[in-house]
Amino acid sequence: MAETVLSFVLDQLSTFLREEGRLLGGLRQEVQFIRDELGHMRAFLREAEAKEEDAQPRLQEWIKQVREAAYDTEDILDEFVARFARHRTTGFYGSFRRIFSSIKNLRARHRVASQIQSIKFRINSISEGHQRYQSEYGISAQASSSLSAVNNTTWRYSRDDALLVEEAKLVGVDQPKKHLISQLLQGDDYQLKVVSVVGMGGLGKTTLVKKVHEDLEVRRHFPVRAWVTVSETCDFQYLLIDLIRQLHEEGKKPVPQSIESMTTTELKKIVKDFLQQAGRYAIVFDDVWDVEFWNTIKFALPESSHGNRVMLTTRRADVASASCIESRRFVYRMEPLSIEDSWTLFCNKIFNGGTCPGHLMDVAKGILDKCEGLPLAILAISGLLASKDVNRIEEWEMVRCSLGVELEGTGKLDRVKKILFLSYSDLPWHLKICLLYTSIYPEDYKIGCLRLVNLWIAERFVEWREGMNIEDVAWSYLSELVNRSLIQVTGVFYEGMPGNCRIHDLLREIIISKSREQNMVTITTGQPTRWPSEKVRRLIVHTSSSNNTQHHEQTQNYCFDHLRSFVTIGSTSPLLSRMLLSEVSRGSKLLKVLDLRGQKTQKEIPNEIFKMFHLKHLDLYGTGVERVPKGIGKLQHLEYLNLGNTGVGELPIEILKLQKLRVLKVYQRVDPSDDDYGRHGFKALFNMGGLLSLEILSCMDASSGCITVKEIGKLTQLRELAITKLRRDDGKELCSSLANLTNLHKLSVYSIGKGDDHEIIDLNHHNPSLSSSSCSFLQSLRMLILCGRLEKMPQWVAHLHSLVRIDLDWSRLRGEEDPLESLQHLPNLGEINFCGSYQGEGLYFKAGGFLKLKELHLKRMEGLRWMRVEEGALPRLQKLFLQQLPLLEELPVGIQHLSQLQELTLYEMSSQLREELLENQKEESEDYTRIAHIPEILIGYYTDDWKWREHQLWEKKKKKKT
C-alpha cells in the first residue's frame, strides 16, 4: 500500500511542478530531487511490500518512513501554494500588494525552504536504507515482477485443494453443474464453443468446473481433455509445455523431445497440430486474469468440425466476455450460495451433517451472514469453529466479534484472506487507492455510486486522460472494480449507470485492515476511542447511537493541521458533528473535501470554511443550510458545490468568481413527500454564462426570462442541465441554447406550476427535417425529463439516437398525440417513465417497436382504459410497473407475449381488476395462463380502512421457478 500512496503523491508532485512550479523559484530543483528520489524507491517498494507481512520490523518501519515522507512533502507544498498563490492580481494595486506580500512572507518563504531541506535530508537517509535493504533482502528494482510471481505462486497452487473436495461435501453445485454440462454438450459440431465462468474469488468456480470436467458423460463425449491452471503470473511458455504434455498423455502418444527449448510460436503450432488430428476436445483454462492471455492462446485452438469446447474461469467480466466474442457466447456468472445451501454447508462441516444446537443458533447465523454465501469463507470459518467447544457460546461470540482480526492474522482464515487479497494486489495503484477509500463506509451501508465517484475526484485519486472528461474517467474506475468482482452493483439509476453498490463483508474487512495499516482514513462514531498516533489526514464520522456530551476532550487537544478530508456518513450526533466541524474549521488549512451530507442540524456554513484556500469539494446536500454567504467567492479552487435539498433559493453574485466550478447543484422538491411534481431551483444570476467550467447545473430558475435562458448557450461544457419554471415564451430561446451544448447527457426541464396548473412547455422549435444542424442537436443526450404540460411531443425527440431513458410528467398529451409514436423506434431506449403524461384511452405497442426497452412505468394516467401489446413488441421488457390507473379494468392484452418479463407491479389499480386477480389464482383461469410465466407479481392497494396491503401473486409458482 505504501507503493500505492507513493504513486499517488508522485502524481501530485508532477502536477504541482507543472502547474505551480514557477512559484518555487530556487526551490524547484530541491522539490524535483525529492520527486526523483521517491520515484527510484517506488519499484523497490513493490517488492518490499510483497514481503512486508513476513518482514522484520526494521523493513516495515522503513516502508512507513517512505509513506510519511511522501505525505509530508505534499503537505509542505500545499501550505506553500496556499500562502504564495493566493494573490495573483495585476496593475498598480496588484504590484504594490505583491511587494508588500513578498516582504511580509519573506520569513515564511525561509521556513518553507527549511522544511523542504529537512524533507530532502530525510529522503537521503531513507535512500541509504533503500540501498541497505536491497542487499539485505536480495531485492533488486529490476526484479520487480519475478519476486511477486514467486511469492504468489508458492501458495496459489493451494487452490488445487478445491479440486480435492469430496463430492459429498459439496453444496449447491448440482444445478449449476447440470446447466454447464448441457451447455457443453448441446449445439452443433462445427464451431468452437467457449463457456466462461466468472465471479469473485472464493465462490467455488474452480470446484464447479472441475466437477463438470470430470463428469462421466463429459469424459465420454470429449475423449481429449486437459486442465491448465493459468494464474495471475503465469509463464506462458511453461503453460504451453504443460498443455502439450497433458494432451499427449491423454492421447497415449510420446511427448515431443526438446520442447523446453522451443519458442512459444513453435509450441502453439504443436498444440494446434495435435488438436486438429485428435478429434473432439475439451480444455479448461482455470484462473485467467488477463484478456491478452485469451487473445494469445486462441490461435493454438483449432475450430475443426468436432464440436470442440473450452471452459474458462476468471474473476474478471471483461475476460469472460472477450473469450466468447468469436464463438457462440455463453458466460455463466457464479452466484453466492443461497441462505439454505450456506447453512447446509456450515452444518455439514461443523456438526457432520447434524443440526446446530439451539443455544448457538443466533451467533451461528451472525457468523454465517458475514460469509454472504462465499463457500471458501464458510469452509474456512467452519474449520475455525469446529475446534471450539459447542457448549461455550462465548467462544463462538468471540469469533463473531473478531472476524476482522482473524483475517489480519494467520491460521484458519489465512487462505480466505490470500484468495481475496489476490484480487486487490492485481490492481494498478489508482484502483487500489479507490478501493481502499470504500473503507469510509460502515458495514452494510448502501453506497451511492455518484457520491463515491465525486469523492474520488475530490480526493485527486482520478487521473486526467487525454480526450476524456474527469467524471467519465472516475466512472470507468468504478466499472473496472465491478468488472473485477470487487464491487457489487445493487441498484441501477438508469441503463448503464449504477445507482448503488456494496462491498462483500469479508473483502471489506481486508480493505479496512489495509486502510488502517496505512493510516489512510480515521473513523470515529463519537464513542470513547483512542486516536491514532499518526497524523489524521481523512476524518470520517459515522452514525452514533449514543447521545454524546462528553467527547469534547477527545478533540480539543487534537491537531488537524494535516487534515485533507472531513466526511460524515449517515446522520451523526449533532453535538459531535458541531464540535468536530469547529475544530476542523479552526485547525485545518489544507482541507480539500468537506462533506456534511444529511446533517439536518447544520443550519449555516461556518465563515472559517471560506479561509480554506485548497477546498475543492463542498457537499451540503440535505442539510439545514438556508443561505450562502458572500465569502463563497474566496474559494477559488472549489470545483464541486452541492446544495441539493437544502433551504437555499438564491446564490450571491460572488459565486461567479468560481472559475473552476464544475458542479453546481441547488434545488428542493416542489412536494417533499412526492417526487412526481419536480423541483424548485435557485434564482438565475445574470452572466451565468461566465462559469465556463460548469459541467453540471441543477436547477436554475428560468422565470426571469429569456436573457438567463440565453446564458445557458455559453456553457458549452455542460453534461447535465436542469432548469425549472420555464415559461412557454422562452422555449424557442432554450432550443437555441441547447443547440450549442454538444456534450449534454442529461436534460431536465420543469415548467411553472404543479399538476394541472403546469404552464405549457413549448420546445417544438427545432425541426430535424429542416435544420442543417439536425445531425448534432442533442445527439449525446442519454436521459430526458420533461415535467409540465406539452401540446405535442417535440419533433427532435424521435431523433435522439443515444437516449436511454425518458420521463414525461404531467404532459397531459391528448389522445391524438400518442407519445409512443415518437419513441418506439429509438434504438437505445431502455426505460420509460410516464406520470400523468397522456389523456388518451389506450396505449398500443406495435410489433417491432421498443426493441431495447427493459423498464416501463405508467402512473397517474386517469383516462387509460386499455393497453395492447402486439407479438414482437417490447421483446426485452423485464419490468412493468402500473400505478393509479383507475379505469384500467383488465391486464394488458398480449401480456403473454412479453417472454422476458420478470416483474409485474400493480399499485392502486381499479377494484375490479384487483379482485379478479386475487380471486382467480387457479391454473385453469384465463388470467393465470396469461401471466404464469412472470416470476414476480405484486399487487398493492389500500383497504377500506385506508390500510396499505401488498399481495404477492403466484407465490407457490414463483418458488417452483426459483
pLDDT tens figures, 523-533? 887 654 555 55
Which is more confidently placed, 926 or 154?
Answer: 926
The class of domain 670-766+775-806 in CATH terms is: alpha beta
Q: How many CA atoms lie within 13 A of 63 on its CB side?
A: 25
Of 47-61, 308-322, 571-585, 923-937, minimum mean pLDDT range: 47-61
N-to-C CA span, the chain = 43
Quote the CA–CA distance of 374 and 420 in Å, as a whole number. 11
Of 94-103, 274-283, 344-353, minimum mean pLDDT range: 94-103
- pLDDT on residue 78: 78
- pLDDT on residue 19: 66
Query: What letter would DSSP give residue 254?
Result: P
Q: Tell me which residue has cell 478429434.
A: 279
φ/ψ (deg, to 5) at 220: -70, -35
Of 319-323, 479-483, 752-756, minimum mean pLDDT range: 752-756
Of 218-232, 468-482, 541-555, 855-869, minimum mean pLDDT range: 541-555
Of 103-117, 214-228, 789-803, 940-954, minimum mean pLDDT range: 103-117
- pLDDT on residue 51: 53
For the cut 50, the answer to whether the pLDDT of residue 151 exceeds it is no
pLDDT, averaged across the chain: 80
* Contact assessment for residue 928 and residue 921, using Cβ atoms and an 8 Å cutoff: yes
Quote the CA–CA distance of 94 and 101 in Å, as a whole number. 10
Q: What percent of the chain has pLDDT over 70?
A: 79
pLDDT band for position 693 (50/70/90)? very high
In 299-441, the DSSP E strands lie at 309-314, 330-333
Which is more confidently placed, 657 or 759?
Answer: 657
Quote the CA–CA distance of 751 and 678 in Å, as a whole number. 9
Quote the CA–CA distance of 317 and 432 in Å, as a whole number. 18
For the cut 90, the answer to whether the pLDDT of residue 54 exceeds it is no
Average pLDDT over residues 697-716: 91
Quote the CA–CA distance of 850 and 581 in Å, as a whole number. 51
Which is more confidently placed, 493 or 150?
Answer: 493
Average pLDDT over residues 348-356: 79
Average pLDDT over residues 464-488: 88
For the cut 80, the answer to whether the pLDDT of residue 410 exceeds it is no
pLDDT per residue as tens digits for the range 859-892:
999 899 999 999 999 999 999 999 999 999 889 9
Which is more confidently placed, 474 or 92?
Answer: 474
- pLDDT on residue 553: 43
pLDDT per residue as tens digits for the range 910-940:
888 888 777 766 555 666 778 888 888 888 8
- pLDDT on residue 90: 47
Intervals of CATH 3.40.50.300 along the chain: 159-333
* Contact assessment for residue 273 and residue 299, using Cβ atoms and an 8 Å cutoff: no
Question: 410-434 b/e with 16+ CB inside 10 Å = b?
Answer: eebbebbbbbbbbbbebbebbbbbb
Quote the CA–CA distance of 434 and 514 in Å, as a whole number. 13
Whether the full predicted model's pTM is greater than 0.85, yes or no, is no
Of 49-63, 412-426, 488-502, 709-723, minimum mean pLDDT range: 49-63
pLDDT per residue as tens digits for the range 729-759:
899 999 999 999 999 999 999 987 665 566 7
For the cut 90, the answer to whether the pLDDT of residue 943 exceeds it is no
pLDDT band for position 86 (50/70/90)? low
Which is more confidently placed, 710 or 424?
Answer: 710
For the cut 70, the answer to whether the pLDDT of residue 710 exceeds it is yes
In 3D space, the residue among 443, 449, 591 whose CA is nearest the CA of residue 523 turns out to be: 443
For the cut 80, the answer to whether the pLDDT of residue 159 exceeds it is no
Fold classification of 159-333 (topology level): Rossmann fold (3.40.50)
Query: What letter would DSSP give residue 631?
Result: G
Which is more confidently placed, 256 or 414?
Answer: 256
Quote the CA–CA distance of 63 and 6 in Å, as a whole number. 10
Average pLDDT over residues 216-237: 84
Of 300-314, 690-704, 784-798, minimum mean pLDDT range: 300-314
- pLDDT on residue 168: 43
Quote the CA–CA distance of 30 and 118 in Å, as a whole number. 11
Of 475-489, 835-849, 871-885, minimum mean pLDDT range: 475-489
pLDDT band for position 309 (50/70/90)? confident
Quote the CA–CA distance of 244 and 228 in Å, as a whole number. 10
Intervals of CATH 1.10.10.10 along the chain: 427-516
Quote the CA–CA distance of 224 and 244 in Å, as a whole number. 12
pLDDT band for position 555 (50/70/90)? very low
Quote the CA–CA distance of 745 and 649 in Å, as a whole number. 25
Cα separation values, 839 from 499, 677, 887, 905, Å:
32, 18, 12, 22
Cβ burial of 684 (10 Å; 0-12, 13-18, 19+) is buried
Highest mean pLDDT among 177-186, 200-209, 430-439, 765-774: 430-439
Intervals of CATH 3.80.10 along the chain: 670-766+775-806
For the cut 60, the answer to whether the pLDDT of residue 604 exceeds it is yes
- pLDDT on residue 93: 44
Quote the CA–CA distance of 548 and 405 in Å, as a whole number. 27
Which is more confidently placed, 338 or 875?
Answer: 875
- Beta strand pairing status for 640-644 and 866-869? unpaired
- pLDDT on residue 742: 93
* Contact assessment for residue 504 and residue 523, using Cβ atoms and an 8 Å cutoff: no
* Contact assessment for residue 864 and residue 910, using Cβ atoms and an 8 Å cutoff: no
Which is more confidently placed, 39 or 739?
Answer: 739
pLDDT band for position 763 (50/70/90)? very high
For the cut 60, the answer to whether the pLDDT of residue 505 exceeds it is yes
C-alpha gyration radius of the chain? 32
DSSP 65-103: HHHHHHHHHHHHHHHHHHHHSS----HHHHHHHHHHHHH
Q: CA dihedral defined by 357, 360, 366, 368, rounded to 10 degrees?
A: -40
The class of domain 427-516 in CATH terms is: mainly alpha
Average pLDDT over residues 820-839: 93
DSSP H or E segment with residue 348: helix 339-351
